[in-house]
Amino acid sequence: MIDNIALILGTTLMYSTPLIFTSLGGVVAENSGVINIGLEGMMVIGAFFGATVGYFSGNPWLGLLAAGIAGGFFGLLHAIACVSFGADQVVSGIAINFLGPGVALFLSRIFFDGATMTLSIDLNNKMPRPLSGLFHQDSFFYYIFGNRYATVYVAFLLVLIVWFVLYKTKLGLRIRAVGEHPTAADTLGVNVYKIRYLTVITSGIFSGFGGAAMSLAIVSNFRPTLVSGHGFIALAAMIFGKWKPQGALLACLLFGSAQGLTVFLGQFEFNISSQILSMLPYVLTMVILVAFVGRSAAPAADGIPYEKEQKN
């Protein structure tokens, strides 16, 4: 019984990690007033570049860095469209969601002889498990913490960093001011465009990390169905978490637990259809959105393009 609980908790941490990275990206962008529906596409491109660079270099950290750069580039595209040109932020995000998988599959065919999936990374070149030697193998804490990849701990550390920046620094105050009332922030000398560019690009970087956390840790390659809606689950976690990093973390752990429970139940003969088990995380997402989205209040300027008033 205890081993089963440890297995579920450990699997929860593993599957929550990509969601945490990506959800933090949404938190950062939307606190500055820019909706980022394109988290899914940024995750996909991050997963591809993470797996590709990780495979060719043999270094998972280089893969993670490449994934962040690729996601950040797509964040830059989103920022150019929404911040500079005032495009509809939802439409731009949807375009990113089409563009990300398209570019990933196109480049995959180039780098891997026409294949739509990358070659598998050697197990020794996957993300390291930093606490593997700290606990006795097959112990309770080994299943929860010792067998987890480094991306898990990086994600939790990033939650603390984002929380500190948003609520304890001058930059965070400016980000939240731009998201609530950009005109007032502008009159106080805050560069609204620069802040929004910074946050949207950062959002892409975090989402790229989320994709790489899947292709470098959970599995060892990229495939077209790898991300499969996790970007939208991360978006739902951000809303459920009320646009706060700590809230998004708890929501991601909840969604991750649904995935962990799915994996656990799939190991036993319960006469439950595998398709029904696979639906569980997405059904939970829909239920939570229906139950809680009306109670959550986004930043006041979220989704509203800002145009600087011209002085006569």
Alpha-carbon distance 26 to 203, whole Å? Answer: 6
Could you tell me which residues come within 8 angstroms of residue 57 by beta carbon, excluding any fewer than 6 positions away? 63
Q: What would the pLDDT profile of 164-178 be if each residue is shown by its tens digit?
A: 999 999 999 999 999
**Cα–Cα distance list, 302 to 34, 77, 137, 176 (Å):** 6, 18, 48, 11
Residue 312 has pLDDT above 50, yes or no: no
Alpha-carbon distance 305 to 302, whole Å? Answer: 9
Q: What would the pLDDT profile of 59-114 be if each residue is shown by its tens digit?
A: 999 999 999 999 999 999 999 999 999 999 999 999 999 999 999 999 999 999 99
Residue 17 has pLDDT above 90, yes or no: yes
**Residues 57/40, Cβ–Cβ less than 8 Å:** no
Give the other-Cβ count within 10 Å of 138's Cβ: 11
Q: What would the pLDDT profile of 29-44 be if each residue is shown by its tens digit?
A: 999 999 999 999 999 9
- Sign of the torsion angle spanned by Cα atoms 78, 79, 84, 89: positive
Alpha-carbon distance 236 to 22, whole Å? Answer: 11
Could you tell me which residues come within 8 angstroms of residue 211 by beta carbon, excluding any fewer than 6 positions away? 18, 22, 42, 43, 44, 45, 46, 47, 48, 50, 67, 71, 226, 227
What average pLDDT does range 1-28 have in this prediction? 89
**Residues 183/49, Cβ–Cβ less than 8 Å:** no
Give the other-Cβ count within 10 Å of 104's Cβ: 28
Alpha-carbon distance 242 to 296, whole Å? Answer: 6
- Domain locations in the chain as residue ranges: 2-295
Residue 215 has pLDDT above 70, yes or no: yes
The dihedral region occupied by 121, where left means phi > 0, alpha psi between -120 and 50, and beta the remainder, is beta
Alpha-carbon distance 107 to 110, whole Å? Answer: 5
pLDDT of residue 114: 93
Quote the distance between the C-alpha of residue 219 and its chain's center. Answer: 16
pLDDT of residue 189: 93
The full 3-state SS of 85-125, as one line of letters, equals CCCCHHHHHHHHHHHHHHHHHHHHHHHCCCCCCCCCCCHHH
87 phi and psi, to 5 degrees? -70, 160
Residue 139 has pLDDT above 70, yes or no: yes
Question: DSSP strand E in the chain: where?
Answer: none
**Residues 50/62, Cβ–Cβ less than 8 Å:** no
Alpha-carbon distance 172 to 195, whole Å? Answer: 10
Specify the fold of 2-295: ABC transporter involved in vitamin B12 uptake, BtuC (1.10.3470)
